[in-house]
Chains A and B, each alone.
Chain A
Amino acid sequence: MPDPLDTRLTPPWLGMARAAWWTVALLAIGVVTAGIAPYYDLYAAHKLVLELLLRAGWCTVGLLIFVRKSDDWMALVVSLFLITFATITFSSSLVDMAAAAYPALRVPVQFLKFAGDVLVLGFFFLFPGGRLAPRWARWIVLVYLTLSLSTWFFPGSAFNLNRWPDELNAVYYALLFGVLLYTQVYRYRYVSTPVERYQTRWIVTALAIAIPSMFSAYLYLLLAGTFPSHIVLWAETAVYLFVLLTPIPLAIGVAIFRYRLFEIDVIIRRTLVYGALTGALALVYFGSVVLLQTLFSTLGRQSPAAIVISTLAIAALFNPLRRRVQAVIDRRFYRRKYDAQQVLARFAATARDEVDLEQLTEGLMNVVQETVQPEHVSLWLRPDAAARRGALSSSIERLH
Chain B
Amino acid sequence: MTEITHMTRKERTAGDAAVDGLCSGVLAGIGMAVYLLAAGLLGGEAPALLLGRFDPGQAASPMNGLLAHLAVSGVYGLLFGLAWRLGSRWRQPPAWLAGLAYGVALLLVAESFTLRISGMSSPLLGIPLVHFAISHLIYGLVLGVLVNRQRAVEI
Verify if B130 is at the interface (C-beta below 8 Å from A): no
| Residues of A contacting B3 in the complex (Cβ-Cβ under 8 angstroms) | 378, 380-381
Kindly list chain B residues whose C-beta atoms are within 8 Å of the C-beta of A316. 15, 18
Within the complex, the shortest CB–CB distance from B70 to chain A, in Å, comes to 7
Q: How far is the CB of A284 from chain B (nearest CB, A)?
A: 6
Q: B117 → chain A, closest Cβ, in Å?
A: 5
A141 CB contacts on chain B under 8 angstroms: none
Question: Which chain B positions have C-beta within 8 A of A283?
Answer: 26, 67, 70-71, 74
**A222-B68, A298-B114 known; A381-B75 Cβ under 8 A:** no
B22 x A222 contact (CB < 8 A):
no
Binds A, one of B30-38, B57-65, B90-98, B135-143: B57-65
Q: Which of A372-388 contact B (CB under 8 A)?
A: 374-383
In the complex, are the beta carbons of A287 and B8 less than 8 A apart? no
The answer to whether B70 and A222 have CB atoms under 8 Å apart is: no
A291 within 8 A of B: yes
Chain B residues whose CB sits within 8 angstroms of the CB of A380 once the complex forms: 1-4
> What is the chain B residue whose CB lies nearest that of A365?
B6
The answer to whether residues A365 and B74 also contact, given A320-B13, A321-B19 and a CB cut-off of 8 A, is: no
State which residues 356-395 of A face B: CB under 8 Å: 361-362, 365, 369, 374-383
How many A-B pairs with Cβ below 8 Å? 109
Find out whether the CB atom of B8 lies under 8 angstroms from the CB atom of A374. Answer: yes
User: How many residues of B sit at the interface, in one of the four size bands?
Assistant: 35 or more
Q: Does B7 contact A (CB under 8 A)?
A: yes
A361: which of B6, B15, B74 is its contact (CB, 8 Å)? B6
B152: min CB distance to chain A, Å? 11
Residues of B within 8 A of A377 (CB): 6-8
A300 part of interface (Cβ distance < 8 Å): yes
In the complex, which residue of chain A has the Cβ closest to the Cβ of B71? Answer: A287
Give A182 to B72 CA distance when docked, in angstroms: 33
Residue A158, interface by CB 8 Å = no
Contacts of B22 in A (CB 8 A): 280, 284, 317, 321
Question: Which of B6, B23, B67 interacts with A286 by CB under 8 Å?
Answer: B67
From A222, A287, A291, A319, residue with most partner B Cβ within 10 Å: A287
Q: In the bound complex, how far is the Cα of B118 from the Cα of A226, in angstroms? A: 16
Contacts from B to A (Cβ < 8 Å): 1-9, 13, 15-16, 18-19, 22-23, 26, 48, 56-59, 64, 67-68, 70-76, 78, 113-114, 117-118
The 4 closest A-B pairs by CB, nearest first: A320-B15, A287-B71, A225-B57, A287-B75
> Can you offer 15 A-B residue contacts whose CB atoms are under 8 A?
A222-B68, A226-B57, A283-B71, A288-B71, A291-B75, A291-B76, A298-B113, A320-B19, A324-B19, A324-B23, A369-B8, A375-B8, A376-B9, A377-B8, A381-B2
